[in-house]
Structure 1
Amino acid sequence: MSFKIAIIGAGSVGFTKKLFTDILCVPEFKDIEFALTDISEHNLGMIQAILDRIVEANGLPTKVTATTDRRKALEGARYIISCVRVGGLEAYADDIRIPLKYGIDQCVGDTICAGGILYGQRNIPVILDFCKDIREVAETDAKFLNYANPMAMNTWAAIEYGKVDTVGLCHGVQHGAEQIAEVLGAKSPRELDYVCSGINHQTWFIELRLNGRAIGKEELVAAFEAHPVYSKQEKLRIDVLKRFGVYSTESNGHLSEYLPWYRKRPDEITRWIDMSDWIHGETGGYLRYSTETRNWFETEYPQFLEAASKPIDPAKRSNEHASHILEALETNRVYRGHFNVKNNGVITNLPQDAIIESPGFVDRFGINMAAGITLPEACAATCMSSINVQRMSVHAAIAGDIDLLKLAMLHDPLVGAVSTPEEVWQMVDEMVVAQAAWLPQYADAVPAAKERLAKSKVKTREWAGAARRNVRSIDELRAEKAALKQAG
């Protein structure tokens, strides 16, 4: 087979390498072309050198090109994969820092909540540019695979306004299933069968079977509470499981910021999170992790390049959906996964226009969703709160409507639990002014926002958050890695 895959945001070096090696685990794909594009020539150079080394070490005819000219990379592409972070870590730091001034403590801040909403405002104009290029220069009926957050908002914009065949992809369902299989004592995650449905990062395991045997709420609660690690790291998820009757896919830290109940007061935050790793609820945890990862990669790049000389091992193919979807579409080997698509009746008690994440099957005919799923009422209600925020946020981003953006922010579950309307209005003004370079659709709104900020009497505070950690130096990271290696 010979076709072209374009990867936008290929400077996300580690993730691009994973997608690349996964795809090349499919024997029929050895003759394909990868076109890498990014706004950073430096990162592009690093990832191309790594991928070239992999191709050479495995004796493959695979072609790898790299360019900062996105349109050129997309020419003739059959599949386009996006893993961009618009605004980079600079804008992301403001997504965490500014809301903290108003008492809003986020762990990740990239899906909804204050940070995720602004992240969507930065992403959506760029997503629409991608879609324009795809329509004009890619293969007819090219498929757009979006890995970038905020998943639902990006996918919503690409489908409704970009008019491109789009699917959103995430790995939260797979990771949640691995946890459940482990606590139930399964020898392999493949022993667990499940139906998981909802919206991205708020997906629910509504049916579980271990080796064919149905698993109920009480057994699952007991298994998690007895686990020596998860009982400490996933306290909030276990509490939601007890109250809702079903387990959520998303990590303790992520889930905590999508709900209005667990991060509204500092003492409550520390009660429900775990500081053993960023993903369990640390203030700005993913920002710290991302910063450390970038610094670590820059410093240790020669080692990453050397590791690329190893043979590709199909047994180590990851459970990221992209390679499996491409394999199913091209070879007709059927793949079952969980995909972010427009609802259109798949989930009966969520809106038709919402972007849902739910089971589907892929073959040569495309992605075929399993329709007629009804969520438990509490799960649907929780999803609805986020869907309403996502819808307003997308429409605000398309129109450059700062008033609608403020209303979207006001209706966010955690923001509304913590902040007053006056605080929300000022916070949005402050975030839009700070991020004006990445928000072209709000250019006309920025001067008035600056005037309002100059006259505002809403008080803020400089606050690091309830559970903040400093970014570790390279030397500290090396020492911790050496200690873990010695202990293991």
Structure 2
Amino acid sequence: MPQIVFLGAGSVVFTRQLLADLFRFDDLPTLRIVLHDIDAERLAVASGTAEQVAARFGRTADVVATLDRREALAGADFVINMIQVGGIDATRIDLEVPAAAGLLQTIGDTTGVGGVFRGLRTFPVLSGIAADMLDLCPDAWFLNYTNPMAMNVWWMSVVAPSIKTVGLCHSVYWTVHDLCALIGVPLEGTHYRAAGVNHQAWLVEWSRDGEDLYPLLREAIERDPELRRRVRVEIFERIGFFPTETSEHSSEYLSWFLRSPEQIERFRLRPLEYLGISEENVAEFEHAKAALAAGEPLELEEGAAEYAPQVIHSILTGTERVIHANVVNRGLIGNLPEGAIVEVPSRVDADGVHPLPFGDIPSQGAALNRSYLSVAELAVEAARTGDPALVRRAVLADPNASSSLTPEQLWALCDELTARHASRLPVALGGTLTADTFSRNL
């Protein structure tokens, strides 16, 4: 019986949707669903969710819930990683402390100072997961959803290169979905390819029946001037290719948008937006808990098209499909650094996930991607070597951070964030986390 492990299963909305997408496949064998979280209350809700979703789709599944990560991982075939180290409290620190210093972020979980510190407190837990997997399920696929995506996948490639790690994000799919809706063209039958880095890949090909769809997008922008008040449209018009993440995320990767009140107003940005999203997620957990207690059906999103269920289905049934995945750059994109984590089209079949060589991406897109990859590389190197100066240099390399604060201010900000996150950071980086606690979810 194939065993699928959900790490961070207490992320109940995401767990619910992944299970729904998985159970929609009627040709899968009976599955063993193993749910793990460090929060007993959240784990109980996840377990109730899994039981209800399986029943609603008429599926038989062996659902197991455990607070013991090693117990969860023993014998796993697939490990879906959704952990958020520190939860909403750490997220508040990532966003509010920089904002008080004059550095604004919208999401703060992937790049910039928020992404760096989220990565630094996630790496020790990933090291523990990797050690457990090498011991208990060395052949399992590690399907990562946890942000910062590129940094986390990069870290896994450093500490456990033999583990089959793939980073999964739905941004490419939903970008094309929304663009097709904007121009009035059905998504079905559309051909598209994107490549670059997570949350900043470029829609290099987008066509239907051999017709390039970009001219229709340009016409839509001409008809609606308000579209020019969106970050992604500005990037598209300046760079020539559409970026594959929301305007809120995209704004953080560049120095163009969050540096002044005028730009924030012009592009209709909401700094610290992720705080509201995080609070909504907490409220949704409470709603799910109450619904389960009352025996009410949980709301399921139709057609979410998440990649992890597709990967699992392809490997178990041999169904071939193409997704976009985050993997180590081994000759995949010629004008991005070897060994970095890139997002490229990938074929999935019974033998696994096979990244497809893309060649060079547009030079202007690669130039912007390299800025982010420098931040990610320095953050990974800081954790690998235990050099706290590299943490500061990673933040200094971030375009948004360096356009908002001076180097002296950034150093002071990193000092404060280190102190606030000390219990989740290694001693070498100024925290209090010792090597013998790396394998624990903190």
Work out whether the TM-score is over 0.5.
Answer: yes
User: Structure 1 residues 60, 114: closer, same or farther in 2, change over 3 A?
Assistant: same
Give the distance between the partners of 2:143 and 2:288, measured in 1 at CA. Answer: 30
Which residue among 241, 246, 264 is the counterpart of 2:241?
Answer: 246
Deviation of 1:225 (Å): 4.4
What TM-score does the superposition give when structure 2 sets the normalisation length? 0.93
Deviation of 1:49 (Å): 1.1
Deviation of 1:351 (Å): 0.6
Give the distance between the partners of 2:289 and 2:19, measured in 1 at CA. Answer: 18
User: Percent identity among equivalent residues?
Assistant: 33
Q: Which moved more, 1:301-310 or 1:189-198?
A: 301-310
Which residue among 337, 361, 371 is the counterpart of 2:357?
Answer: 371
Q: Which moved more, 1:396-405 or 1:246-255?
A: 396-405
Give the distance between the partners of 1:361 and 1:55, measured in 2 at CA. Answer: 28
The residue that corresponds to 1:182 in the other structure is: 181
Helix, strand or coil for the counterpart of 1:29? coil
The residue that corresponds to 2:221 in the other structure is: 224
Helix, strand or coil for the counterpart of 2:188? helix
Task: Describe how 1:61-100 pairs up with structure 2 within 5 A.
Answer: 61-100=60-99
The residue that corresponds to 1:409 in the other structure is: 395
Contact 1:263 1:269 in 2 (8 A): yes
Deviation of 1:55 (Å): 3.0
User: Structure 1 residues 344, 441: closer, same or farther in 2, change over 3 A?
Assistant: farther
Give the distance between the partners of 2:296 and 2:243, measured in 1 at CA. Answer: 36
Give the distance between the partners of 1:321 and 1:55, measured in 2 at CA. Answer: 19
Give the distance between the partners of 1:168 and 1:119, measured in 2 at CA. Answer: 16
Contact 1:11 1:43 in 2 (8 A): yes
The residue that corresponds to 1:121 in the other structure is: 120
The residue that corresponds to 1:108 in the other structure is: 107
RMSD of aligned residue pairs (Cα, Å): 2.1
Give the distance between the partners of 2:108 and 2:431, measured in 1 at CA. Answer: 24
Task: Describe how 1:375-414 pairs up with structure 2 within 5 A.
Answer: 375-414=361-400
Give the distance between the partners of 1:411 and 1:135, measured in 2 at CA. Answer: 34
- Residue 269 (str. 1) matches residue 268 (str. 2): no
Contact 1:30 1:60 in 2 (8 A): no
Give the distance between the partners of 1:413 and 1:196, measured in 2 at CA. Answer: 23
Give the distance between the partners of 1:304 and 1:383, measured in 2 at CA. Answer: 44
* Matched AA of 1:15: F
* Matched AA of 1:200: N
Give the distance between the partners of 1:31 and 1:352, measured in 2 at CA. Answer: 40
Helix, strand or coil for the counterpart of 1:181? helix
Give the distance between the partners of 1:337 and 1:59, measured in 2 at CA. Answer: 27
Contact 2:120 2:379 in 1 (8 A): yes
* Matched AA of 2:198: N
Helix, strand or coil for the counterpart of 2:76? coil
User: Structure 1 residues 327, 59: closer, same or farther in 2, change over 3 A?
Assistant: closer
The residue that corresponds to 2:436 in the other structure is: none
Contact 1:144 1:167 in 2 (8 A): yes
For structure 2, list consecutive stretches of 5 or more residues without a partner in the other structure. 433-442
Deviation of 1:318 (Å): 2.4
* Matched AA of 2:191: D
Task: Describe how 1:12-23 pairs up with structure 2 within 5 A.
Answer: 12-23=11-22
Contact 1:343 1:354 in 2 (8 A): yes
What TM-score does the superposition give when structure 1 sets the normalisation length? 0.84
Which structure has the larger Rg over C-alpha atoms? 1
Which residue among 332, 336, 353 is the counterpart of 1:350?
Answer: 336
Contact 1:221 1:238 in 2 (8 A): no
For structure 1, list consecutive stretches of 5 or more residues without a partner in the other structure. 274-280, 447-488
Deviation of 1:76 (Å): 0.2
* Matched AA of 2:285: F
Deviation of 1:190 (Å): 1.5
User: Structure 1 residues 28, 215: closer, same or farther in 2, change over 3 A?
Assistant: closer
Give the distance between the partners of 2:222 and 2:189, measured in 1 at CA. Answer: 21
Deviation of 1:236 (Å): 1.6
Q: Which moved more, 1:174-183 or 1:9-18?
A: 174-183
User: Structure 1 residues 304, 49: closer, same or farther in 2, change over 3 A?
Assistant: closer
* Matched AA of 2:71: K
- The count of residues paired between Structure 1 and Structure 2 equals 431
Give the distance between the partners of 2:105 and 2:127, measured in 1 at CA. Answer: 28
The residue that corresponds to 1:3 in the other structure is: 2
The residue that corresponds to 1:204 in the other structure is: 202
The residue that corresponds to 1:458 in the other structure is: none
Give the distance between the partners of 2:57 and 2:23, measured in 1 at CA. Answer: 10
Task: Describe how 1:401-480 pairs up with structure 2 within 5 A.
Answer: 401-442=387-428, 444=430
User: Structure 1 residues 31, 114: closer, same or farther in 2, change over 3 A?
Assistant: same
Contact 1:159 1:165 in 2 (8 A): no
The residue that corresponds to 2:152 in the other structure is: 154
Deviation of 1:56 (Å): 3.7
* Matched AA of 1:91: A
Contact 2:195 2:358 in 1 (8 A): no
Q: Deviations over 1:435-484 (max 9, x none)?
A: 111113446567xxxxxxxxxxxxxxxxxxxxxxxxxxxxxxxxxxxxxx
